[in-house]
Amino acid sequence: MSKSSSEEIAVWLINLIKDKGELKREEAAEFVESAFSSDFISRTANGNRSLSKQLLHDFRNLRDETIRWNAGKQAWYFTANGSEEAEREQREIPQIPTAVEPKELPKGASNVHPALYLNRELGWVDFNWRVLYQAMDSRNPLLERVRFLGITASNLDEFIQKRVGGLKRQEAAGVDDLSPDGRTPQTQIQLLQAKTKQMQQRMTEVWNQHLLPKLEEEASIKISGYDALNSRQKNRLNEYFLDHIYPTLTPLAVDPGHPFPFISNLSLSLAVKLKKPNRDAFNFARVKIPSNQPRLLQVESESYAYHYVPIEEVIRKNIDKLFPGMKVESICLFRVTRNADLRRNEEEAEDLLSMISEELRERRFAEVVRLEIEEEVDPEVENLLKDELKLDDSDIHHVEGELDLTVCFSLANLNIPGLRYEKWNPPIPKPLYHEGETEQEQTIFDIIRKGDILVHHPYESFSASVQRLIEEAANDPDVLAIKQTLYRTSDDSPIVKSLIKAAEQGKQVAVLVEVKARFDEASNIEWGKMLENAGVHVAYGLVGLKTHAKVALIVRREGDKHVTYCHIGTGNYHTQTAEIYTDLGLLTNDPELGYDVTNLFHYLTGYAPDQTFEKLMVAPHSLRSDFYGLIDREIELAKAGEKGRIIAKMNALDDVGIIQRLYEASQAGVNIDLIVRGHSRLRPQLEGYSENIRIISIIGRFLEHDRIFYFGNDGEPKIFIGSADWRSRNLNERVEAVVPITLPSLQKRIISILKKALNDNRLVWDMHADGSYTQRRPAEGQKEKNFHEMMMKNAWKRAKR
């Protein structure tokens, strides 16, 4: 038998698994070595036996869907109906509802009629439905589905804080202005409360009915309640409770001597109803679930590779230890969400930094806008919480199962091969990959002088391009000055370290730190203080505007000249998000762009309201009128019988002025494709208004974040990238920078990106006139085209040329 081929042994192994029902990897290696030869066995790094690469290759090619791999147990198992189940999962396309409710469009209505616009807030809910769909889609790796559920939950938390909170603030202030789709703040709140509750219920259903069983079956991950444990496991958790949890708990009673405690935003708490013996009145106490403990406590298990119990269940079962002498009548878990939309009048603020710091303090104590609570709750406890938190019934979300599904992130990060996306290692852009190729190593400035470089993250390395630019600038003795905007950055940021190093070496370093970046205000204030302490000139934004532009400027002495080098991009200087956000950046030493970026920083850090720009399009300076002009040019071409063409890629589309121009362009015959990841107020494919407009949304492993604008211009295309979406806030209330891409080779590359996005049939959702979306699927016999995978393959092809 030792002369058997690898394929024959693979067939033998398949039959063995079917016979036994389950076979661990190590057992398989033992059987193969015993029955055949050690030639088909290899050793892992830790010395364990495994199947050889060739045998594994043949085995994977020959096995069918009845044999599944359980990554957690490191075993194969046989399921007789596996093939049928897999086919059924592939055939069954999950259904998601549509939140937007367009109004009926009267015949002959003008382009300003409310029925031509979808509600922005409801459109965002539909975007989050598309994210949740990724958790429901069986084609995605299991742990990535779990991650998408966590993302959906996190998105919803932020939306409730910002958007619902903002509408409630308007309602409280008596604002009755109508949205472009003709709805008052109160009407929008009512719609959103119903729609978000529907989403919350589906999230719970996806978790309880789909992902939890899959985790147990395919990953050997079990999440159970306390009561499902054996006595040994319970004893271990009880010991852990007494040693690690009990000392950190602070039960807070509510009675005439103890006012209702402050409940911090998004924290988990247990509401405990208590009674003293021989007394009718009940007492209430709140116990906060400690946030400095793991949410999921792992227990030893012989049946599962990973067995967890939520920490709140362990506290619940030991709650009597906190209240000796009292009878515990009921316990329920709850969570509050507070309003994060606190806006002050910046014009009246003496100090912008102090104003933001005060706003952060106030946000901690802002009114509660949502209460999530377990389905089985004592009515008296619910009424007490409702009264103390000043809530209506519509603000209360009853949840059947796990509260706060952001817990999914900890599970999604488990390193279980085969259940996550394969790790992506972005290549270094070819122009920047030069070490060892020349006798004298080139600086990044030498390379940029040869021609503009377009970098595309995360497909290409951020650290070897943008980060390298700032690091080399900090170390280069010929660099005189570095100026940069920081909207968001990472913890332990190498960019910030380089800026500090440059300042310490005597370079002129100026940084615009945007302290109004939502939910990053506190960290940005800390970055600003750190930079100031190192001698960096720090500005904290402009009154009335948020600085959203992504620009860096380096001034370098070269001979008797001072030469400028710029990075102008679509994304933040954030090393972590650069691994998952798709963003474009231009590295250039174009003197005109250098002059424009210099003027932009003078505008940001000094007094230059009437600053002028040659090539750069800047908001709120002239970006709106520049875009209007570009759209109008395509309208003129179409009316003259030429081909009008617009392709735009962005995060969201809600600016009424831009939408009206796009309706006019469609009516004139301009062919328009819009790639909009998030919400869109524009209604595509409406007869008489937008027949020539198509909108798609791309949702996948990477977050689509780059902004690209293409205008056909009668065969001489004008192409731009930048930080601005076609949103009112970007055009009116933010400092944005959009740069033209003029080199034909770079234009060709961007056009290729847009074409691949439009041709995708795996990640794309097509938007319809009523605001609903349908996910594209390959037709029978058609090859799958996954935009993200195509871009990854292209990145490596370019790197190897």
Q: What is the pLDDT of residue 350?
A: 45
Question: How confident is the prediction for the chain on average, in pLDDT?
Answer: 89
Cα dist. 555→475, 530, 584, 591 in Å?
Answer: 13, 23, 22, 11
Mean pLDDT score, 268-295? 90
Q: What is the pLDDT of residue 88?
A: 60
Mean pLDDT score, 659-666? 98
Q: Is the model's pLDDT at 365 over the cut of 80?
A: no
Q: Is the model's pLDDT at 282 over the cut of 90?
A: no
- DSSP code of 514? -
Cα separation, 577 vs 520, whole angstroms: 14
- The answer to which of 68-72, 416-420, 541-545, 790-794 has the lowest mean pLDDT is 68-72
Cα separation, 577 vs 235, whole angstroms: 42
Q: Is the model's pLDDT at 318 over the cut of 60?
A: yes
Q: Is the model's pLDDT at 355 over the cut of 70?
A: no
Cβ-based neighbours of 641, under 8 Å, separated by 6 or more: none
Tell whether pTM > 0.85: yes
Q: What is the pLDDT of residue 437?
A: 47
Mean pLDDT score, 362-375? 81
Q: What is the pLDDT of residue 353?
A: 54
Q: What is the pLDDT of residue 534?
A: 86
Q: How many CB atoms lie within 10 A of CB 378?
A: 16
Q: Is the model's pLDDT at 669 over the cut of 90?
A: yes
Q: What is the pLDDT of residue 347?
A: 44
pLDDT tens digits along 194-240: 999 999 999 999 999 999 999 998 999 999 999 999 999 999 999 99
Cβ-based neighbours of 275, under 8 Å, separated by 6 or more: 281, 282, 283, 326, 327, 329
Contact of 452 with 586, CB cutoff 8 Å: yes
- The answer to which of 125-139, 293-307, 422-436 has the lowest mean pLDDT is 422-436
3-state SS of 83-112 is HHHHHHHHHCCCCCCCCCCCCCCCCCCCCC
Tokens 């989050």, residue located:
128
* Percent of the chain topping pLDDT 70: 92
Q: What is the pLDDT of residue 361?
A: 55
Tokens 């993250």, residue located:
457
**pLDDT range class, residue 53, cuts 50, 70, 90:** confident
Q: What is the separation of C-alpha 558 from the centre of its chain, rounded to a whole number of angstroms?
A: 42
**pLDDT range class, residue 543, cuts 50, 70, 90:** confident
Q: Is the model's pLDDT at 702 over the cut of 70?
A: yes
Q: Residue 482: what residue type?
A: I
- The answer to which of 242-246, 365-369, 469-473, 691-695 has the lowest mean pLDDT is 365-369
- The answer to which of 45-59, 68-82, 91-105, 472-486 has the lowest mean pLDDT is 68-82
Mean pLDDT score, 624-652? 97
pLDDT tens digits along 231-240: 999 999 999 9
- DSSP code of 390? T
Mean pLDDT score, 286-294? 94
Instruction: Give me the active site residues, please.
Output: 548
Between 108 and 438, the more confident residue is 108
Element of type H or E holding 470 = helix 466-475
Q: What is the pLDDT of residue 379?
A: 92
N-to-C CA span, the chain: 47
Between 623 and 305, the more confident residue is 623
Cα separation, 708 vs 702, whole angstroms: 17
pLDDT tens digits along 757-785: 999 999 999 999 999 999 999 988 899 99
- The answer to which of 49-63, 323-337, 616-630 has the lowest mean pLDDT is 49-63
Contact of 530 with 625, CB cutoff 8 Å: no
**pLDDT range class, residue 13, cuts 50, 70, 90:** confident
Between 543 and 85, the more confident residue is 543
Token representation of residue 499: 């800026």
Q: What is the pLDDT of residue 756?
A: 98
The most confident of 109-123, 158-172, 425-439, by mean pLDDT:
109-123
Q: What is the pLDDT of residue 490?
A: 75
3-state SS of 18-86 is HHHCEEEHHHHHHHHHHHCCHHHEEECCCCCEEECHHHHHHHHHHCCCCEEEECCCCEEEECCCHHHHH
Peptide bond into 620 cis (omega under 30): yes
Between 47 and 22, the more confident residue is 22
Q: Quote helix, strand, coil % in the chain, to nearest 5.
A: 40, 20, 35
Mean pLDDT score, 696-708? 97
Q: Is the model's pLDDT at 57 over the cut of 90?
A: no
Token representation of residue 362: 């106030």
- Contacts of range 688-694, beta carbons closer than 8 Å, 24 or more positions apart: 689/111, 689/116, 689/663, 690/662, 690/663, 690/666, 690/769, 691/666, 692/665, 692/666, 693/662, 693/663, 693/666, 694/766, 694/767
Cβ-based neighbours of 801, under 8 Å, separated by 6 or more: 430
**pLDDT range class, residue 1, cuts 50, 70, 90:** very low
Q: Which of 469, 472, 467, 474 is nearest to 504 (CA)?
A: 474
Q: What is the pLDDT of residue 381?
A: 93
Q: What is the pLDDT of residue 349?
A: 41
Q: Is the model's pLDDT at 346 over the cut of 60?
A: no
Contact of 176 with 185, CB cutoff 8 Å: yes
Q: What is the pLDDT of residue 341?
A: 74
Between 51 and 706, the more confident residue is 706
Cα separation, 445 vs 68, whole angstroms: 53
Between 454 and 281, the more confident residue is 454
